[in-house]
Amino acid sequence: MQRNFILTDVMKTGDHRSYEQFIDSHSLTNQTFEYTGEYYTLHKYDLDQYDRRFAFIDMRIHNNRLIDNDGYKKDLQGRLELLHQQGFTFIVANPWESLDNIKSQTFVTGEAMKKIAIDYPYHLWTGGVSWFWSFMYHKHKDKRPAVSHDHNGSYWHKIYNFLYLNKATREHRVKLYNQLTKDGVLDNSIYTFINLKPSRRLPKKYELPGIEPENYPRWGKDQDIYEAPYVDTVCSIVSETNDNDNEIFMTEKIWKPIMAEHVFVVHGNHLYLQKLREMGFKTFGKYFDESYDLEKDTEKRIEKIVSLCKDLKSKCDDSSSFVERGNKKWQDIYLQTQALRKHNYDTFFDKQKLSQQVNKTLESFLEFADSGQVPS
């Protein structure tokens, strides 16, 4: 059994409790992890008793507010020097973001990182597939969403086709949004694009209770879930953070429809659905065309998603009065996928399944510490 010690936030400026919660979700049988978020309590620990010592440098976007402060930079450099002398391995922690976000935008771990100048080897921790699953699991495990799609034995009560939620104006999102609206796919749907001009907001009855649609906050509410829009819609169009072909980054955007036992289509990274299946979830390839997930070209992937959504819309609209009578084809899909959707819900709340992904993240930390090499 190997013992690992982690200082979960060198400067105690951010997410150390969430990081500790994440660490506690592991199930590695040959490793233990002990931690503190307080630099000034390190003297209470016999650090020589640990096989490895890690220090997390919290670099999430919220810490942009600190990087131009000379006192912060001086204190950070001083602490890193002392920790380096004590054999600590450094983890630059920004699991809220993908590697693509960090490289392409001015996050702390992007261009702004140059202002801090960490002069020691470090491992960059990005979100991957484990961070948001862990965060959403812990946020909702004690009060799980309960979304009923069966209204007195009938699915006819679903009055809208799609639930399609967008906030930040990423290029791939704007392209899909423009094509869906141009082709009339969203004519009978609930959809948003908060940061687009002009802004598109939810109807008040579908917004989180206590929030006015026009005042939806920039931070803090994206990981909340409100059942009403899932009850009244047939399918989620999930517009993920990235659409590249070199990493897979899963956010709350996929975990909310899974918790709501909703049918979903995902505009995300190449092989995103394949990765979901590898993690133990199921997707809807038996019921409609998911070949868009295999398409590496981002423009063609959008074309396939739009084509699929048109087909799904037709399954709703070929009834003479969808609002009043519903549609048998979609009732059949909900009936046929009941076990699949419940499986996804149960898998999401399966701590052992979650821990398998957390283990992989922690193992990457251990491998880096043992290699002594700067990651490429």
Same-domain check for residues 168 and 129: no
Same-domain check for residues 186 and 314: yes
User: Is the alpha carbon torsion for 119, 8, 38, 49 positive or negative?
Assistant: negative
Same-domain check for residues 335 and 227: yes
**pLDDT tier at 110, thresholds 50, 70, 90:** confident
Same-domain check for residues 276 and 306: yes
Residue 54 placed within a domain: yes
CA end-to-end span of the chain, whole Å? Answer: 29
Q: What is the extent of the structural domain holding 71? A: 2-133+355-371
- For the segment 90-112, the average pLDDT, to the nearest whole number, is 85
Same-domain check for residues 168 and 194: yes
**pLDDT tier at 146, thresholds 50, 70, 90:** confident
CATH number at residue 31: 3.40.50
- For the segment 76-100, the average pLDDT, to the nearest whole number, is 96
pLDDT at 155: 53
Q: Tell me which residue of 204, 251, 192 sits closest to 228, measured CA to CA.
A: 204
**pLDDT tier at 327, thresholds 50, 70, 90:** low
pTM given for the model: 0.93
Please enumerate in sequence order all residues whose Cβ is within 8 A of that of 70, keeping only pairs 6 or more positions apart, or say none.
Answer: none
* Helices (H), ranges, 154-297: 171-182, 228-231, 252-259, 272-278
Residue 214 placed within a domain: yes
What is the CB neighbour count within 10 angstroms for residue 241? 21
Structure tokens, 23: 């660490």
Domains of the chain: total = 2
Q: Tell me which residue of 371, 374, 284 sits closest to 334, measured CA to CA.
A: 284
- For the segment 28-41, the average pLDDT, to the nearest whole number, is 97
- 40-55 pLDDT tens trace: 999 999 999 999 999 9
**pLDDT tier at 213, thresholds 50, 70, 90:** confident
Same-domain check for residues 40 and 110: yes
Same-domain check for residues 110 and 190: no
124: phi then psi, degrees, rounded to nearest 5: -90, 120
Same-domain check for residues 298 and 258: yes
Same-domain check for residues 252 and 218: yes
**pLDDT tier at 320, thresholds 50, 70, 90:** very low
Residue 248 placed within a domain: yes
Mean pLDDT check: name the lowest of 32-36, 148-152, 276-280: 148-152
